Amino acid sequence: MPDKMPDNPNLQFFSQLSKAKKILIALPPKSNVDICGTAVALTLFLNKQDKKVEIVSEDDFGALYPFLPKVGSVRKSFTSAQSLAVVVDTSSRPLEELSYHQEQGKVKIFLKSKEGVFSPEEIKFEVERAPFDLAIILGAQSLEDLGGIFEANADVFYDTVKVNIDNHPGNTHFGAINLVDINSSSLAELATSLLQEFETDLFDEDIATCLLSGIIAKTRSFQHAQVSPKAFLKAGDLVAKGARQQEIVRALFKTKPLPFLRLWGRCLTNLKDKGEWAFAALSPQDFTANGGSFEFLLLVFKELLENLESKMLVALMAKDGANTKLFLAARKGLDLGLLTAEFGATGKELKNISLPPFGAWEFNLPETLSFEELQKKLETGLEKLFKQEVS
C-alpha cells in the first residue's frame, strides 16, 4: 500500500524532493531578478543533494543578470522527446556485456548473458515518457504563463508532478502541490522560508546571495510600501549565511548594462509628464544612434514604472525595425478599453513586472500608421481617457 501523502503542502514538497532525481525548474518569459535568483538558488540547493536540475526559460538571463552566481545554467529549451527503453529480464540470466554496432540505416544491440542466450520472451520494449521526476514552476499564475516553453512541451508538464511556487493573488493553483503565499513580498522570501524549513545547513554564500538579490530587487532595497517585517528577518538570515549584500546593491542600483543606460537616457529625454500620467517614446533613431538594444526595452519600462509609482498611468512606445511595441501600466480600476481599441491591438498582461497598485500590458501595434502618427494617436487617446475619468 503506497504511503499516504501528507496534508501540509510544504511536507508534500519535501517528500517529492526526496524521491526525485531529475528536476525541471520552469520560468515565465521576461522574469525578473526575484524569479531568476530564486530559480538559481533552488538549483544550487538541490545540486547539493545530488539532484540533476535544469532551469528553462525563453530569456537569456546570463546577459540580463550577470551578477547572479551560476546564472549561466539557465537554458532556453530542453529535450522532451520520448525515449525507447530495451528492458531485459536478468532474473535467471545475469547480463555480462552490452554493446552495439551501427550499420547503414540500422543499429544492432548485442546482449550477452553469463549463462546461455537471452530469448525474445526475456526482452521487451517500453516508452519512457516524462524526462523529469518533478517540475517546479516559479512566478507563474498559470501554465500558459510559461509561454513557448509550455506550448512546445505540454506533454511533459501534464505528465510530471508540478510544484507551483508563487506570491501573486491571481494564481490559479494549477500544481499538484501549490506553495502560494500572497503575503510574501517576494518569491525569494517565500523560498528562503521553505528551504530553511527543509535544511538550513545546506545554505552557502552563493545560495544566500541569489535569494537576497531577489528580496532586495523586489522590495527596491526595502523601500517599497509592501515590505513586510518578515522580509527584513529573512534578509538578515541570508546576510548571516554570507550573502554578498554590497555586491548585490552595486549590481542592481549602481551598475547597469551600457545598452540599458543608453535607452534609459533617451527615455528620460523623451519623457512627457502630464501630471496624472506620463509617456515616453523611443524612435528607431534612438536605437541606432545610441547603440541601444530592443532586448533591454522591458527593463527600461520597469525602471520607468518604479520611478513613477505616483502616476495613474505610465506608457512607453518604441519602434525598432519592423517592431512597434506599446507598454502600458495603469492603476487598478482605470478602464483602458477605449484607448486600446483605437489601435486594434490585443494586449498581453505582464504579470511579472507589475507593482501592487498597477497592472501592466504589452501591445504589438499595427504597421498601418507611422511612428509619429502612433505617438499622436496615443497622446490624444490618453488625454481623452483622463478627461473622461474626471467627468
Give the model confidence (pLDDT) of 201-228 as tens digits: 889 999 999 999 999 888 877 766 567 7
Q: What's the fold here for domain 9-79+131-252?
A: inorganic pyrophosphatase (n-terminal core) (3.90.1640)
If pLDDT is split at 50, 70 and 90, which confidence band does 1 have?
A: very low
Average pLDDT rounded to a whole number, residues 348-359: 70
> In the chain, which residues fall in CATH 3.90.1640.10?
9-79+131-252
Helices (H) and strands (E) counted in the chain, each on its own, are 14, 16
Cα 5 off chain centre by: 28
Q: What is the pLDDT of residues 18-53, one digit of tens each?
A: 999 999 999 998 788 899 999 999 999 999 999 999
Q: What is the mean pLDDT of residues 138-156?
A: 89
pLDDT of residue 25: 94
Element (H, E) at 319: strand 313-320
Give the integer Cα–Cα distance in Å for 381 and 104.
Answer: 67
Angle at 240 between CA 239 and CA 246, to 5 degrees: 30
In the prediction, which pLDDT does 217 show?
A: 87
- List the one residue out of 340, 288, 338 whose CA is nearest residue 318: 288
Question: Burial level of 28, CB count in 10 A (0-12/13-18/19+)?
Answer: buried
Where in the sequence of the chain do the CATH 3.10.310.30 domains occur? 258-390
Q: What is the pLDDT of residue 168?
A: 87
Query: Measured in Å, how far apart are the chain's first and last C-alpha atoms?
Result: 68
pLDDT higher than 90, residue 377 = no
Query: What average pLDDT does the segment 333-346 reach?
Result: 71
What average pLDDT does this structure show over 329-340? 76
Mean pLDDT over the full length of the chain: 83
Q: 258-390: which CATH architecture?
A: Roll (3.10)
**Confidence class for position 355, pLDDT limits 50, 70, 90:** low
Helix (H) / strand (E) element for 58: namely none
